[in-house]
Amino acid sequence: MTIPVIHRSPKRMLIAAAIAIFVTYFLLHPVVSSRSAPVPQPHQQGEAKFGDWANRPENWPSKSKLVDLPEGTPHKLPRIQHDFAADAPDPQLKKLNAARRDAVKAAFKKSWDSYRKYAWGFDELRPETLKGDDTFAGWGATLVDSLDTLWIMGFKDEFEESVKAVQKIDWGAASGTGCSLFETTIRYLGGLLSAYDLSGSRPLLDKALELAHMLYAAFDNPARMPVNNFRFDLAWSGNLMPSSREISAAVGTMSMEFTRLAQLTNETKFYDAIDRIKVQMEKTQAKSYLPGMWPMWLDVSEGIHPMDNSFTLGAQADSLYEYLPKMYALLGGLDEVYAKMAKYMLDTARKHILFRPMVPDKVDILFSGEVIANGNVLDLKTEMQHLSCFVGGMYALSGKLLAFEDGVATGARLARGCAWAYSAFPTGIMAEVATVAECGSGAGKKDKNIQTPGTALEPPCEWNQTLWENLAGMNAKTLPGGFTSVWDRRYLLRPEAIESVFVLYRITGEREWLDSAWAMFESIRAATETEHAFSGIGDVTLKTRNNKIDSMESFWLSETLKYFFLIFSEPDVISLDDFVLNTEAHPFRIPKPR
């Protein structure tokens, strides 16, 4: 066979060589658009130290039959949202909301892109040093926490990419020896369940179930009570014992996540675990030093026993109370115990925990404080926490859902209180923790029987400059009128204030809440934006560029920006009549009558 001779011209050979070099270079150095930018390799998880949690034998199995989800068809719940369809069309407002929504979406995209570029797979991005940080066991808290926000905002490509990354998480390979049961439940388990509820992506439910089997080991003890300090080795061996001093929020803030998982998978054990907590909470609600509420600390070593005399709707207790009305909704109204406990708590808190501050402009607002109970004497600390700003939304939601008397009006006064606190500081952002003067004596101590109504919440409330100056002391020279001290001057990108403003808008349809939300967003953006993302700040009383603390917790994307986005969205986007949101702003579908 004769092989033909191919004659190559020098010009063609040079062109061919150039093409070969060009192709080789771009195979080694691919050019991609910013939309499909290469994902940095995440930090490597360690090797898994334990086996299959789903098949781990229990050391302390339940001695009684597991409790199933309530039987029956879900009830038709009362309407929560304002009837927006009945409002006259307002093209200008629609256009304004769209522009504001786009601004929020841009803030999210900037934050997400930087997390993706600099901290992919880590729990959080440090927004100034552009490094990843593991603060929640190293499973990628921001990644999981942001899944439903990506879906809601329409970032479907980013969502699909994240789902693939989530499937690679190994719960057995954490960055430390344990995790917080509370944080893992609300951020990881809640995030996965919500993203599944919205997208129907089965791998997310599988991953949630995989995680929940591990977390269920927190109940493997004689008391069948949860252990928040979840040590992996002790949990695996069945030697994780409940504490005689546990934060009450950690005890009562798994009910929504475990219930939704049970609804989606028909795995009874998850609902049984949290129903046992409900039974114990109901038994002890009237037995604390402030009947109707539970103290900040509980003894759960043998059931649940109140062991403290400090009561608050803020830090260490907050979401325990938040979940009571929400569980009633999530169970389709089939368990009246949650409604009963919620109403008892709301009434007690309104009498003794809520108070009206004395402020210069005499606005009709409320805050949620802290009470120390000593016999029949209640010492009210007129402390306002950013964490307790969710309370306005809780009262308003309960006013509609549970027909709690004046719930919406009380919630509105609380939400306005936090919006007022934002506007009072130079940055336009409220502090983590501050104290204010109370209307009336300002003393806070109530020498009365604790069964009688507490602090007067109704007008009039006159401004008393002399009283305020006496209470504030030297702070009167530097703090806004009404404030007596600022214990924690930071703003950590928290969501609770905008959460209540969002809920009040969806319930009332009143324009004031939109304007309050936008003022808050503009202030937050101005004070916290960095070159690449957003950062918490160290002092809300100072308008300075050197105020960033290099922290961007996952709730910035999961909660804060989600609530800002939703308030400027159409009201049927995550309607409060269709979804109930957990304490990390993860929406769960409410069961409906067939």
Contacts of 105 (CB under 8 A, 6+ apart): 153, 565
Q: What gap in Å lies between CA 253 and CA 183, rounded to an integer?
A: 9
Looking at residues 453-470, what average pLDDT do you find?
79
DSSP 8-class letter at 402: S
Can you say whether the dihedral through the CA atoms of 117, 118, 124, 125 is positive or negative?
A: negative
Binding site, annotated residues for Ca(2+): 583
Read off the pLDDT band of 3 (50, 70, 90): very low
Looking at residues 160-174, what average pLDDT do you find?
97
Stretch among 98-107, 208-217, 442-451 having the lowest mean pLDDT: 442-451
pLDDT at 36: 41
- The end-to-end CA distance of the chain, in Å, is 80
Q: Which amino acid is at 141?
A: A
pLDDT at 50: 81
Of 352, 389, 346, the closest CA to residue 367 belongs to 389
Q: Which amino acid is at 109?
A: K
pLDDT at 51: 82
pLDDT at 49: 72
What DSSP string runs through 62-118?
-SSPPPPPPPSPPP-PPP-S--GGGSPP-HHHHHHHHHHHHHHHHHHHHHHHHHHHH
pLDDT at 594: 82
Length of the chain: 594
Q: What gap in Å lies between CA 224 and CA 61, rounded to an integer?
A: 9
Contacts of 103 (CB under 8 A, 6+ apart): 521, 525
**How big is the chain by its Cα radius of gyration, in Å?**
26
Q: Work out the mean pLDDT of the chain and round it to a whole number.
A: 92
Of 348, 327, 472, 465, the closest CA to residue 404 belongs to 348
Tell me the per-residue pLDDT of 175-225, one tens digit each, with 9 for 90 and over.
999 999 999 999 999 999 999 999 999 999 999 999 999 999 999 999 999
Tell me the per-residue pLDDT of 218-267, one tens digit each, with 9 for 90 and over.
999 999 999 999 999 999 999 999 999 999 999 999 999 999 999 999 99
Is the pLDDT at 455 greater than 70, yes or no? no
pLDDT at 12: 44
Is the pLDDT at 352 greater than 50, yes or no? yes
pLDDT at 320: 99
Binding site, annotated residues: 583
Read off the pLDDT band of 382 (50, 70, 90): very high
Tell me the per-residue pLDDT of 426-443, one tens digit each, with 9 for 90 and over.
999 999 999 999 998 544
Tell me the per-residue pLDDT of 336-347, one tens digit each, with 9 for 90 and over.
999 999 999 999
Specify the residue for token string 């923790």.
433
Is the pLDDT at 108 greater than 70, yes or no? yes
pLDDT at 41: 58
In-domain check, residue 232: yes
Contact by Cβ (8 Å): 221, 177: no
Contact by Cβ (8 Å): 552, 116: no
Angle at 353 between CA 563 and CA 280, to 5 degrees: 85
In-domain check, residue 381: yes
In-domain check, residue 172: yes
Q: What gap in Å lies between CA 435 and CA 579, rounded to an integer?
A: 35
Of 206, 116, 214, the closest CA to residue 168 belongs to 206
Spell out a b/e string for 29-43, using b for 16 or more CB atoms within 10 Å of the CB, else e.
eeeeeeeeeeeeebe
SS (H, E, C) 529-546: ECCCCECCECCCCCCCCC
What order do you get walking across the sheet with 483-488 strand by strand?
Answer: 383-385, 433-436, 483-488
Structure tokens at 493: 């990108």
Q: What gap in Å lies between CA 341 and CA 418, rounded to an integer?
A: 26
Contacts of 211 (CB under 8 A, 6+ apart): 171, 184, 188, 189, 192
Instruction: Return the SS3 of 415.
Output: helix
Looking at residues 370-399, what average pLDDT do you find?
97
Tell me the per-residue pLDDT of 540-587, one tens digit each, with 9 for 90 and over.
999 988 999 999 999 999 999 999 999 999 999 999 999 999 999 999
**Own/partner pairs, 508-514, CB within 8 angstroms, 24+ separation:** 508/82, 508/396, 508/408, 508/412, 509/82, 509/83, 509/84, 509/87, 511/93, 513/415, 513/567, 514/93, 514/97, 514/567, 514/568
pLDDT at 457: 78
In this structure, what CATH number is given to the domain that contains residue 193?
A: 1.50.10.10
Contact by Cβ (8 Å): 128, 530: yes
Residue 433: phi and psi, rounded to 5, are -145, 130
In-domain check, residue 594: no
pLDDT at 440: 80
Give percent of the chain with pLDDT exceeding 90.
Answer: 87
Range of the domain at 290: 67-589
pLDDT at 451: 46
Contacts of 207 (CB under 8 A, 6+ apart): 166, 167, 169, 192
In-domain check, residue 48: no
Stretch among 41-45, 112-116, 117-121, 383-387 having the lowest mean pLDDT: 41-45
State the burial class of residue 117 (Cβ atoms within 10 Å of its Cβ: 0-12, 13-18, 19+): middle
Q: What gap in Å lies between CA 352 and CA 455, rounded to an integer?
A: 6
In-domain check, residue 26: no
pLDDT at 460: 74
In-domain check, residue 28: no
Question: Could you give the residue numbers annotated as active site?
Answer: 183, 318, 432, 496
Q: What gap in Å lies between CA 27 and CA 23, rounded to an integer?
A: 6
Instruction: Return the SS3 of 292.
Output: coil
pTM: 0.91
DSSP 8-class letter at 491: B
Contact by Cβ (8 Å): 375, 320: no
pLDDT at 9: 43
- Of 459 and 532, which is predicted with more confidence? 532
- Of 522 and 461, which is predicted with more confidence? 522
Of 520, 564, 524, the closest CA to residue 548 belongs to 524
In-domain check, residue 22: no
Contact by Cβ (8 Å): 312, 258: no
Instruction: Return the SS3 of 262.
Output: helix
Q: What gap in Å lies between CA 545 and CA 524, rounded to an integer?
A: 13
Range list of H helices, 119-189: 141-145, 147-153, 156-166, 181-183
